[in-house]
């Protein structure tokens, strides 16, 4: 069982844009520092498993702060802690239209019934939002 009263061990070398430490192994290949720490202190990481942080501190490499989980576990952990930056569609609290309306927009645009600008006016959203919808960037 992890000891969350233990301090984070902060990685002070190279970091990804998301703040995770990494080590360049050879010829541009790198490995995340928290995964290396897990392997050193806890053993091999099973296939299909990720090393997740209980402390939610990306540069932390303290193995007492880690637990294993699937990608789905990682997503659920992020959402439960309010760290999911890109909720799409109706899951996004800022959504101004429904999934059904997004489907209508995609259909009307694909059929040539309306321009992106006209659809934006009709649904009271920006033309940029329509572009994202028809290009499956925000609504799949």
One-character DSSP codes across 17-53:
TTS-BEEEEETTEEEEHHHHHHHHHH-PPPTT-EEEE
* pLDDT at residue number 136: 83
Mean pLDDT estimate for the chain: 86
Three-state DSSP state, 123 = helix
Q: Is the pLDDT score of 20 beyond 80?
A: yes
Q: Of 87, 93, 110, nearest to 130 (Cα)?
A: 110
Query: Domain 1-85 is in which class?
Result: alpha beta
- Residue 74 tokens, joined: 């990682």
Number of H helices, E strands in the chain: 5, 4
Higher-confidence residue: 110 or 89?
110
Higher-confidence residue: 128 or 113?
113
* pLDDT at residue number 56: 87
* pLDDT at residue number 1: 43
What's the rounded mean pLDDT across residues 118-124?
Answer: 94
- Residue 128 tokens, joined: 């940029």
**CA distances in angstroms from 137 to 56, 64, 85, listed in the order given:** 27, 38, 14
Domains of the chain, residue spans: 1-85, 89-134
- Residue 76 tokens, joined: 């659920």
pTM attached to this predicted model: 0.57
Q: pLDDT category, 17, cuts 50, 70, 90?
A: confident
Pairing relation of β-strands 22-26 and 29-32?
antiparallel
pLDDT digits (tens, 9 = 90+) for 54-92: 988 899 999 999 999 998 888 888 877 766 666 666 666
């Amino acid at each position: 069982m992890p000891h969350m009263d233990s301090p984070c061990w902060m990685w002070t070398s190279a970091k990804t844009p998301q703040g995770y430490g990494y080590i360049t192994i050879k010829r541009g290949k790198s490995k995340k520092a928290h995964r290396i720490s897990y392997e050193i202190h806890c053993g091999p990481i099973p296939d299909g498993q990720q090393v997740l942080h209980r402390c939610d501190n990306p540069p932390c490499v303290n193995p007492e702060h880690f637990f294993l989980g699937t990608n789905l576990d990682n997503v659920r952990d992020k959402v439960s802690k309010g760290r999911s930056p890109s909720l799409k569609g109706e899951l996004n609290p800022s959504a101004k239209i429904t999934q059904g309306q997004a489907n209508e927009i995609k259909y009307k645009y694909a059929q040539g019934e309306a321009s992106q600008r006209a659809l934006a006016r009709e649904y009271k959203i920006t033309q940029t939002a329509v572009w994202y919808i028809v290009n499956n960037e925000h609504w799949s």
